[in-house]
Amino acid sequence: MAHKKYILGVFDDEDVVLHAVSDVREKGVNIHEVYSPFPIHGLDHALGYKRARMGVPAFLFGITGTSLAFLLTFWTLGWDWPMNIGGKNFIPFPTNIPIVFELTVLLASYGMAFTFFGMEKLSPVSKPIIFDERITDDKFVMAIEVSKNSVSEEDITGFLKSTGATEVNIKEI
Amino acid sequence: MQVVSPIREHLVTGGKTYHDVTEDISRQVEGPVTKEWKVVFTVALLVLAYGGYWVYQTWWYGLGNWGLNKTVGWAWDITNFVWWVGIGHAGTLISAILLLFRQKWRTSINRAAEAMTIFAVLCAGSFIFFHMGRPWLAYWALPLPNTFGSLWVNFNSPLVWDVFAISTYLSVSLLFWYIGLIPDLATIRDRASGIRKTIYGALAMGWTGGARAWARYEDVSLILAGLSTPLVLSVHTIVSFDFATSVIPGWHTTIFPPYFVAGAIFSGFAMVQNLMLITRVVYKLEDYITIEHIGLMNKVITLTGSIVGVAYITEFFIAAYSGVQYESYAFINRATGPLWWSYAAMMTCNVLSPQIFWFKKLRENIVVSFVIAVVVNIGMWFERFVIIVTSLHRDYLPSSWTYFTPRMGDIGDYLFTFGFFFVCFLLFAKFLPVINMAEVKAVLKSSSEKTDKK
């Protein structure tokens, strides 16, 4: 695999990096990604990402759970082996609600979580690209891929420094 | 843009920087095992082993090892089950409901509370197996086809609802806890080397902290909180249905669901209070778990304790007002019958004792907080004992009236879960970060002591 060259702007403060993202993008620089030790509110917006919509998989898996639970309870006690329990209906809608609710929550949670793991390629065997080991401690790193930008390396370094980066490093991966 | 509230106390004291947070919390994971930890862990293992012996007795020789008799068919087993499930409500409550309410003080205590929840629910689950008598047929509680031995399960039964509710609650709590751990595991991975780096790296699943990942992560956390909130409320509601859907006077009560949920939050917060007060001293986390946190926990304890108190009084009133003599007798027998002492213990520990927290001085006193939290957990155990045993021991036929005395089997099985709980909690406290570093860092700017000085 060909080596990719990244310019890394290291910041100390989340508000500085948030403003730096807007400034750098205004200069026409394409940012690869911004890494931080904790979520920074408004950063995804500043980077121009679409709003995260994890509610969609949650809803779809949830509705699957609801349907499966209804299918399970209705089919077993309604068709497969109808049992007379206290003279009640074979398909007693209200008493099935706890099961339906629990299975909805179970499938919605796990479905959404595994969709998230899949989208972010999170798995015990994944080999992450770690630009700087201090990202998970106290540094905020803006990574810019050189080959994807028409702006020269020196200019990018200058932009980063002027917006408050405490260090600018080059890393080839 | 961070908003600093002028009236709120600081949630992180001591002028910590982001790096300080990482150092302070990671230290206990990275450092060698301390002598105190070894001593406490050994004690917990011994308790577990002794309890394990009694579990063996229970399973090998049967439930005759317990003090049950033909009138009282449910006693310590279900008391302990409900007690542990109740304790297991605080963690997800703190992380889910307080997240929805945007309570920033949850950040220092949510991780340990969630871990505690998982272990408490496992302890509760073990009582389901203990009380089955034939635990090798436990799978009959699952909806398996008739060829597996039994008929399809009865979906009208609250015991089947319980199977679904408890297992869903355990699974979702585990997921919520683990997702919260991922960024912190990555922090430890990036500081470690050698085999530790491989293990924590696998656990961190390749987390890098990119903005896109964080945005989705926050969305996932919020939706999980939204899903967990009704889940927490549903679990103890369904546990209360085990009693409320029966026709036993003293159990057949519509107030049970909210009353049980309030009681669960009450006992859960008390247990979190106990564990956090110990952790804070042992790991020197006074700057993260501050007097403010302790005071806020005590406020929740007082509120839920009072709700439980109102429920006790309402039950009594309704029993009298209903005019049903069986119902009235069940309650008069509870308070004045042969088991009056358990009723008195419940009332004193649960309703009266937390009321001292109306005084700020006592609310913010560490020793008082610890003692009251222990007292509350004793009281909540007695609440379940009162509900279960006093409603059963004098049934419809006076010739079968009896008394309940626990035998060593009851006590031993209870000790087993204590051993299990503390072994798990100690392992958690040693090998995983006890405070959510990422979330504490996120509130550091708006809620730490340093901000004001700037």
The domain segmentation of chain B, as residue ranges, is 18-453
A-B Cβ pairs (cutoff 8 Å, strict): 193
Q: Does domain B18-453 have CATH number 3.40.50.720?
A: no
Q: CA angle at residue B435 from B434 to B439, to 5 degrees?
A: 150
Contact B234 A102 (CB under 8 A): yes
A105 & A136 share domain: no
The pairing of beta strand A140-145 with beta strand A5-11: antiparallel
Q: What does B60-72 look like in DSSP terms, one character per residue?
A: HH-GGGS---SS-
A73 & A110 share domain: yes
Confidence of residue B452 (pLDDT cuts 50, 70, 90): very low
CB < 8 Å to B228, chain A: 105, 109
A22 & A74 share domain: no
Six token digits for residue B411: 């006590």
Give contacts of A 30-59 with B, CB under 8 A.
Answer: 33-40, 42-44, 47, 49, 51-55, 58
Q: Which helix (H) or strand (E) holds A144?
A: strand A140-145
For residue A47, the SS3 value is coil
A39 & A60 share domain: no
pLDDT of B1:
45
CB < 8 Å to B247, chain A: none
CB < 8 Å to B224, chain A: 109, 112-113
Span B376-390, pLDDT tens digits: 999 999 999 999 999
Find where tokens 């003080």 sit. B105
Q: Is A121 on the interface with B (CB under 8 A)?
A: yes
Cα separation of B234 and B179, whole Å?
22
Give contacts of A 55-84 with B, CB under 8 A.
Answer: 55, 58, 62, 72-73, 76-77, 80-81, 83
Domain boundary among A119, A142, A159: A119
Give contacts of A 143-172 with B, CB under 8 A.
Answer: none
A25 & A37 share domain: yes
Give the contacts of B149 (CB within 8 A, at least 6 positions apart): B137, B140
Cα separation of B426 and B126, whole Å?
19
CB < 8 Å to B19, chain A: 137-138
Span B53-71, pLDDT tens digits: 999 999 899 898 999 999 9
A40 & A64 share domain: no
Residue A124 resides in a domain: no
Contact A99 B155 (CB under 8 A): yes
Confidence of residue B6 (pLDDT cuts 50, 70, 90): low
Say which of B160, B191, B211 has its CB closest to residue A33: B211
The total domain count for chain A is 2
Cα separation of A146 and A143, whole Å?
9
CATH number at residue A18: 3.30.70
A69 & A114 share domain: yes
Domain range holding A99?
A: 55-119
Residue B131 has pLDDT above 50, yes or no: yes
The torsion defined by the Cα of B96, B101, B106 and B110, in degrees rounded to 10, comes to 0
Span B274-308, pLDDT tens digits: 999 998 888 888 888 888 889 999 999 999 999 99
Residue B146 has pLDDT above 80, yes or no: no
DSSP H helical segments within B253-290, as ranges? 256-282
